[in-house]
Amino acid sequence: MSVAMIEIDGASMHYGAVHAVDDVSLRVEAGQIFGLTGHNGAGKSTLFKMMLGILRPTLGTIRIRGERIERGSPLSVRRGIGYLPENLALYDNLSGLETLRFFARIKSADARACEGLLERVGLVDAAHRKVREYSKGMRQRLGFAQALIGRPSLLLLDEPTNGLDPVATRTFYEALDDLRDDGVSVVISSHLLSEIEPRVDSLAIMANGRLLAHGSVAELGRTAELPARVRVELRPDAIERIDRAVSDAGFGPTIVDGHRLSFEAPMTRKVPLIALLASLGDAISGFEVTDPTLEDVFLRLSHRGADA
């Protein structure tokens, strides 16, 4: 098997009785946008800090590109990682450009790239304004530019869209796609499941320090065994006939809402249900298919985790 970008093996971080991260094993392949999701306090930030070697795991190991991460890890490994912490401390009296130059010095990176980075995050016009005058979204974009200093091959971004408006959020994800096209691997944490769902190649769901599941959105959907919902709009006189035909074929349950019927089918039987409905003729005037969302998957898996 090829070397993973990140390989976490049985990693735990315990603060006394608090198990911030608890026996997490995870593999992130190179060249992916990988999402780390979970509710507040699930352990996402702690796992990031462990991946960076800021925190030493109580148990387990973490490898980046095959190199074990620990405090005092080789600079060559750390230099290849760009990190946007959840709350990046910025100096209010520095301008945006001075801020990036300051971080470039700390990272021993080429400061000449800083102007280009400001352009990349849409802050070139604010380059010489003091950070104290920046809005929350501008600070967040400056933080993102800071993570890109030194052309890292791995980006660890903790809640990067916090404070961004919808347009800035879209621009941010477009920038991530470009970075992935350039071969950069990205791990992004968020508790905004609907935002992250269409934008990651695969993801992990954490709750109370534990990993509930990981894989592509489709794989997680299968793991959660949630049904697809199909809603049809009908001529009133056809309701009974179609309800019977669908339940005779083994689908259900059916919900009747005026002249609409809703059916549920396991994802593996969604297409046969649609084919059956399509064969039932012109009594059907409208059609809507809803696959389970990541939010549904998360809720189902969290409940299972709590019941275990």
Q: Which stretch binds ligand ATP (CB under 6 A): 40-48, 97-105, 196-204, 210-218?
A: 40-48
Nearer to ligand ATP, 45 or 99 (CB): 45
Q: Are 251 and 273 in contact (CB under 8 A)?
A: yes
Nearer to ligand ATP, 80 or 163 (CB): 163
Nearer to ligand ATP, 13 or 232 (CB): 13
Among 1, 15, 253, 257, binds ligand ATP (CB under 6 A): 15
Q: Which stretch binds ligand ATP (CB under 6 A): 14-22, 71-79, 130-138, 268-276?
A: 14-22
**Distance in angstroms (rounded) separating the CA atoms of residues 36 and 50:** 14
Among 29, 30, 31, 41, binds ligand ATP (CB under 6 A): 41
Residue 58 burial by Cβ neighbours in a 10 Å radius (0-12, 13-18, 19+): middle
Among 32, 45, 153, 161, binds ligand ATP (CB under 6 A): 45
Q: Does 191 bind ligand ATP (CB under 6 A)?
A: yes
Site for ligand ATP in 62-101 (CB under 6 A): 86
Q: Does 38 bind ligand ATP (CB under 6 A)?
A: yes
Dihedral through CA 184, CA 58, CA 74, CA 62, nearest 10? Answer: -30
Contacts of 138 (CB under 8 A, 6+ apart): 96, 123, 126
Q: Are 18 and 208 in contact (CB under 8 A)?
A: no
Contacts of 106 (CB under 8 A, 6+ apart): none
Nearer to ligand ATP, 10 or 266 (CB): 10
Among 1, 2, 40, 198, binds ligand ATP (CB under 6 A): 40
The kind and range of the H/E element at 13 are: strand 6-15
Looking only at the bridges linking them, the beta strands covering 185-190 and 154-158 are parallel
The kind and range of the H/E element at 14 are: strand 6-15
Q: Does 17 bind ligand ATP (CB under 6 A)?
A: no
Nearer to ligand ATP, 105 or 136 (CB): 136
**Distance in angstroms (rounded) separating the CA atoms of residues 94 and 102:** 9
Q: Does 140 bind ligand ATP (CB under 6 A)?
A: no
Q: Does 256 bind ligand ATP (CB under 6 A)?
A: no
The residues of the shown chain that bind ligand ATP, judged by CB under 6 A, are 15, 18, 20, 38, 40-46, 86, 191
